[in-house]
Chains A and B, each alone.
Chain A
Amino acid sequence: MSGATERLIERLAADAEPVGRLRAPALRAALWLLAVAAVGGIVIAGFSDLDVFARRAQDPKLVVEMIATLATGIAAVLAAFELSLPDRAAGWTWLPLPPLAVWIATSGYSCYRHWIAFGPDGWELGESTDCFRFILSVSVPLGITLMLLLRQARPLAPVRVAAVGGLGVAAIAACLLQFFHPFDVTVIDLSVHAVAVAIVISVSSLWARWSERRGEEAARP
């Protein structure tokens, strides 16, 4: 054995304080999602116009879109917790893709229908700037709490974990948005939503890359 490796093992063993084992990733994901559901429920009950939402919810397309959005969020959050552990398959990355495809397809169909109904007006910028601000501002607190939890595992591939977690956060924000969004989306609205989601994913990934580069705790046993 090389002397340096020998010395390293001695030092690591001397430094082996008891550590708290992380709970199962599915349980950790479920606890975070429940906390978000509780806070989201209070905000919806307190601030959204549920009568308008109830009328819009009679459209099965909206229901499918919301279920797909929520499923994307749940799947991405679960995948991010799994991926944060060293021995979980990289295949978890693809878990949110099927509901994401349904989400994109139903939103796209809604835009198309809107465009047919309203002609060129269907291209107008609706309340997009508000939606944009909503998705970003809801994503910030959700994103920070989720990233802090994911970092507990000190993931070996932090950028992938942050990107998948970012998708989850943005999808949950987009789902909550439906309660405060009393109209169908236009093409421009959809693009604005997509840009907001992309920003959340990019910021999460960049943050993870930046902290990985700093590697402040990387070599500190």
Chain B
Amino acid sequence: MPPESSRDLARDREWSASMAAAQNGDRAAYERLLREILPFLRALAARQHRVPDRIEDVVQDVLLTVHRVRHTYDPARPFSHWLAAIARRRSIDALRRRGRTEAAEVSDEKAYETFADPRAKDDREARDRAGGLGAAISSLPRGQREALELLKLRQLSLAEASRESGKSVASLKVSVHRAIRALRAKFMGGER
């Protein structure tokens, strides 16, 4: 999205100068820039995604990418153009990932309801199950266990988990998917 109005142009020049300073190691300018571009990024992401959480995931992905490729920005060129190109790419990647995930998973709203059978609410049984679950989680390969802990137990976002573990968002998704499939196979005998 190239800058259009004179206000956009002024804003673009400001962002461009902040990024040039950030490339030289000015952390304050960089932090200010990342905050200022958030509404722009959210507006771009909202064109392709409706769910607020998903928009925020895309925005975080864009921020991580901006950080990773910040050496490719040429201050002689429009900053918004560079930023919008990254945002569009990440947004499309998120759509593709969503397509792949939805093709592989099923959603069952009733699964969240408690069971009609009172025995299912029995504390002891729940404790036994929790113990078994703990043991099953410990038996998972390290990568899967780590992904499960970060994303499901600590409920970090993908971007946060990715930063903490040093693994890519895509590999975390694969690991957590495999972990859940392994646990499901263990407790439900392979049922979906």
Contact = CB atoms under 8 A, between A and B. Distances in A.
Partners in one complex: yes
A34 interface: no
A218 B70 contact: no
Interface in A206-221: 213-221
B69 A219 contact: no
A101 interface: no
Interface in B62-77: 63-65, 67-74, 77
B89 A156 contact: yes
A50 B67 CA distance: 51
Residue of B77, B167, B168 ringed by the most chain A CB atoms within 10 A: B168
6 contacts: A20-B71, A22-B72, A215-B168, A218-B168, A219-B64, A220-B163
B153 to A, nearest CB: 16
B31 A7 contact: no
A145 to B, nearest CB: 20
Interface in B152-177: 156-157, 159-160, 162-163, 166-171
Given A9-B63, A218-B168, A221-B163, 13 more contacts: A5-B56, A8-B160, A12-B67, A13-B31, A13-B34, A16-B22, A153-B69, A214-B168, A215-B167, A215-B171, A216-B168, A218-B169, A221-B67
B38 interface: yes
Nearest to B71: A19
Contact of A5 (B38, B65, B67, B167): B38
Interface in A73-89: 84-87
Nearest to B160: A4
**Dominant SS at the A interface?**
loop
Given A10-B31, A18-B25, A87 B60 contact: no
Given A8-B160, A8-B163, A13 B82 contact: no
A70 B35 CA distance: 47
**Dominant SS at the B interface?**
helix
A14 B160 CA distance: 15
Contacts of B169: 215, 218-219
Contacts of A24: 74
Contacts of A154: 68-69, 72
B157 A9 contact: no
A220 B159 CA distance: 10
Interface in B105-140: none
Given A16-B22, A156-B89, A218 B71 contact: no
B72 A85 contact: yes
Interface in A136-172: 153-154, 156-157
A21 B159 contact: no
A1 B27 contact: no
Contacts of B77: 87
Given A19-B23, A19-B71, A154-B68, A87 B81 contact: yes
A21 B63 contact: no
A1 B30 CA distance: 17
B179 interface: no
A9 B34 contact: yes
Contact of B160 (A7, A17, A22, A213): A7
Given A16-B25, A19-B23, A9 B159 contact: no
